[in-house]
Structure 1
Amino acid sequence: MHKKQADAVAKTVVDAIEEQSNKIATQNFIKLEIATLYNKLLLSMLAIAGISLTVVKLFFWTKSLV
């Protein structure tokens, strides 16, 4: 009987560790996704700023031709 109880306790402990490990892995994955989205947002903002700067430069360049 003690062997069965010990096995049951061991299984419960292993299951709890596995569940906690899965939660941590999920949290880390979510953090990684958020960081990736943030980086994409920053890159998009930089691209928009670059395009805007180019448009302004072209505007002043064409004005200087006139």
Structure 2
Amino acid sequence: MPEKTDQQRHRHHRGRRGGRPPGFNREVYRRRNLVERCFNQLKSFRGIATRYEKTATSYEAAVTLASLLLWA
């Protein structure tokens, strides 16, 4: 996805301060991305996305079942 021109100008204006933060860790970011993609796949199940179940126990069971279906 191309970067917007105003963002490029802003980054250029900031100079060396305009890049990634100094604490950026590529491995941690990859793991975070993996977890976020997993949550997005779980939300493709309508009952989980809309919190159809009323009790916490049944919601947890639905999330467990959906996780097993995705894993299998």
- Give the TM-score, by structure 1 length: 0.33
Q: Which protein shows a greater Rg?
A: 1
- Give the TM-score, by structure 2 length: 0.31
Instruction: State the structure with bigger RCO (CA 8 A, min sep 6), 1 or 2.
Output: 2
- Structure with greater helix share of residues: 1
